[in-house]
Amino acid sequence: MAVFMKTEGAPGSFHARQRGCTATWALTLFLSLVFSLSGLGHTMTKEDRHKLRDQVLEMFDHAFRNYMDHAYPADELMPLTCRGRVRGLEPSRGDVDDALGKFSLTLVDTLDTLAVLNKPEEFEEAVRRVLQDVRLDNDIVVSVFETNIRVLGGLLGGHSVALKLQEDGPYMSWYRGELLTMAKELGLRLLPAFNTTSGLPYPRINLKHGLRSPEARTGTETDTCTACAGTMILEFAALSRFTGDPIFEFQARRALDFLWEKRQRNSNLVGTTINIHTGDWVRRDSGVGAGIDSYYEYLLKAYVLLGDELFLQRFNTHYTSIMKYISQPPLLLDVHIHKPLLNARTWMDSLLAFFPGLQVLKGDIRPAIETHEMLYQVTKKHNFLPEAFTTDFRVHWAQHPLRPEFAESTYFLYKATGDPYYLEAGKSILDNLNKFARVPCGFAAMKDVRTGSHEDRMDSFFLAEMFKYLFLLFADKEDLLFDIEEFVFTTEAHLLPLWLSTTTRAWRQTNATAQPPEAAPLDDSNFDWSCPNTRVLFPNDPAFAQNIREPVRGVVDKNCPRSSQQGSAPSPSARSHPPLRARDFMANNAEHLDILKRMGVSLIHLKDGRVQLVQHATQAASALDAEDGLRFMQEMIELSSQQQKEQLPPRAVQIVSQPFFGRVVLTAGPAQFGLDLSKSSAGVRGLVALAEPINGCSEVTNSATLAGKIALMQRGLCMFAEKARHVQEAGAIGGIVVDDNEGSSSDTAPLFQMAGDGKSTDDITIPLLFLFHKEGSIILNALQEFQEVEVLLSDRARDRGEAPISAKQPPAACTPPSDMVGVEHKIREDCSSGEDSMSDPGAHTLHSEDLEMKDNNPVAEPGPEAKDKKGTSHTIESILSDWREDIEAFRQMERDEL
């Protein structure tokens, strides 16, 4: 399981403390039993498993090589534009950028991954680069939490592996602990963050100036997340035990002690955000996902690594409450810490995918299987885990930054059960990464799992964790340079040696301040389920695990939305005509406009295509009509408010010509008129050509060039519908409007629907999509380089490949089952080709006085203030640098059916 080893009865060893465990951990017997019972369904051959192992290595090489070639020494690779992300030179992404400290983050985070993947020469070279190039004293404000788990953890993991390779020979013979020296320097730079009365660390610190100096530009924060304060103990304790300096472990323990004291005593749960000075809970929702996740993980792993039973007691206390209140199999839902029977939200975030793996470490296998199966079915539906998804498994937040937590739990469940089912789950992860995320310069995060559009982002944790877990999933023991069982994984999957539990024990025992202030007597009941019990987990039924999974799979497969439950037509009233309801209103319906006039409601068309509604009761035809007008306006406001919470359905512009081959997908906004791409199974595919004039606001002068192609136009000077009509008359089969606001990007500005012109737009039959400036520049630069650029306009990206992209057929209709196999929360199968109703913080806020009309739905176009003005355009050389050398690799990959 990569967390335990036999320590021959050494003090503090894990197995010696487990109630009912023998001298070696009970998992040994557990694995033997399950391997003998795992012949259910298809068993993956050793040859197939080795092919997947080699595929992991090839994918890692593709990502790591592109980082080193195009980004290093920058912190991260931007895989769409083939350059490094340097903080301050790119538009700010808010808190996401707090992980970037100008310390070659991806290289440091990836050190021990190189060793795990049996690349000792590359590891040795990477260590030399870190020692030569990385500086830790940059004048930059960073996240204490992210810097700890990624950089300090990366340095300590590299040090741990270097010692192991040096011990086993012949590698790293020159190494004298230089990474540990850097780790201690970084630890000292992080220590001032703990200078609070509570002991909870500040969330951010300046690497050069600390907190207090005027140059620090930080130190005024009052709040931090529970995971941010509670995920320090492994790295800080390891640093103390490696160096013999107790201050680091002391500060991390002090923070954990404070969090434990501030738990809600009735529910034994902790909130998500806490005031670092007063200890008051700022956010009182509690779950196992974002904001709390690794706090629970570190309590249990601190017990494993450090041998302090107090950590296990605290974890078991929390775990009991988690299973009582938060776990609603197969779901894990946030609750209020003071009212734990009351759900705090109706959606889950993808970070909770680590929890089945932690349950394996705990030994509670059944709920781990259930939750993992639920997550697996979500990935089958959406290809990846969306950042957040609802209890009926529709998209809530559509992004997926290539997070590794699902792969992590898949690995641990396979280690615990030996069930080849989890090898197949791992294979699906590889397939989806290659099919949807792979681009010529690495792997790009998914901006929207529904459309398959990309974000110019490849986080360091993708290299540090994803490939490590997947390689271990498919590798044999002989494929590893060392015994992985001798290490514990941190939350960033860095390796810390288990022998630290017996290191420098003398100072820990004599230094009273390093111990928790009080240690309550251990309750034996807290040790239930502390190690796997094969008799309880897998009774004499070889289909036990399959029987656990089947109900969850059945819920996902058989349930779908009931379209008949959508809004129905209003019932007629005693009037000569039924009252006009806001949900039925269409701005281009003459009868509806007459009804508005009788109700005293004026319709004003703004120059940018938006529609403004104003009511004057005195202008109504009668008092009854005035009442109807007031009700209509109130309904419209409510409808607008409701649509604030619903994300605009995005569209995709996929570049399918060489050298892209469908591997670059851009997020686009739809139009209120023209072909609805969500109802087109094939989309519209064609070569791109610039319209003349470029704004498309007058009769096109290059009709021969545009005929049968997709017209590229610039925003501005006229209505969107007018542009569409001009290029359609010229024979274009589609249109793309590129924002004229230089630097705007879908990363920082919300999408919007292009409005009509207040007239009937039934004559417009071609699709029209909108691209922000950054995304549009990619197509413009490609045109300059290759002259012929072919794109596919669709509701979501199609299969990648050199062959023509085949149109996907819509899924067959399904009907909701009458029996949901006893699971209360239903996972609804999407029967409408990805048209989900969802909420997303990126959706534009709608105002009742500033409405557009799409059929019966009001929408609004964002104002200029929503558009990013910091970005810069880049030449095609920077975008396509060295891409050609990757084309043959893609061809070979496809020939090998990777």
d(CA 183, CA 152): 6
pLDDT of amino acid 748? 74
**The token pair that represents 573 in the structure block:** 């009233």
Q: Is the pLDDT of residue 892 over 80?
A: no
pLDDT digits (tens, 9 = 90+) for 482-496: 999 999 999 999 999
pLDDT digits (tens, 9 = 90+) for 64-80: 999 999 999 999 999 99
The 3-state DSSP composition of the chain as helix, strand, coil percent (nearest 5) reads 45, 15, 45
Q: Is the pLDDT of residue 855 over 60?
A: no
pLDDT digits (tens, 9 = 90+) for 860-877: 333 333 333 333 344 444
**The token pair that represents 531 in the structure block:** 């190690």
- Residue 210 near residue 216, CB atoms below 8 Å: yes
pLDDT range class, residue 537, cuts 50, 70, 90: very low
Task: Report pTM.
Answer: 0.67
Q: Return the percentage of the chain with pLDDT > 70, whole number.
A: 74
| Angstrom distances, CA of residue 638 to CA of 345, 582, 597, 860 | 21, 9, 21, 15
pLDDT range class, residue 235, cuts 50, 70, 90: very high
Instruction: Tell whether residue 815 is among the known ligand binding residues.
Output: no
Q: Is the pLDDT of residue 856 over 90?
A: no
**The token pair that represents 605 in the structure block:** 């068309």
pLDDT digits (tens, 9 = 90+) for 87-124: 999 988 989 999 999 999 999 999 999 999 999 999 99
d(CA 364, CA 751): 44
> What mean pLDDT comes out for the span 793-817?
51
Q: Is the pLDDT of residue 41 over 50?
A: no
pLDDT of amino acid 42? 61
Cβ-proximal residues to 740 (8 Å cutoff; 6+ apart), any chain? 714, 715, 716, 773
pLDDT of amino acid 564? 32
Q: Is the pLDDT of residue 507 over 70?
A: no
- Report the DSSP beta bridge partners of residue 227: none
**The token pair that represents 71 in the structure block:** 């980004």
pLDDT of amino acid 625? 81
Provide DSSP, 778-841.
HHHHHHHHHS--EEEEESS----SSSPPPPPPPPPP----S--TT-SS------STT------T
Please list the alpha-helical segments (H only) found in 433-492.
460-461, 467-474
- Token match 């809600």: residue? 264
pLDDT of amino acid 491? 97
pLDDT of amino acid 14? 33
> What mean pLDDT comes out for the span 619-647?
70
34 or 498: which carries more pLDDT confidence?
A: 498
Catalytic center residues: 146, 293, 387, 405
**The token pair that represents 865 in the structure block:** 């203030």
pLDDT digits (tens, 9 = 90+) for 281-334: 999 999 999 999 999 999 999 999 999 999 999 999 999 999 999 999 899 999
- Greatest CA separation for the chain: 95
Closest CA to 446 of 387, 406, 379, 401: 401
d(CA 26, CA 357): 17
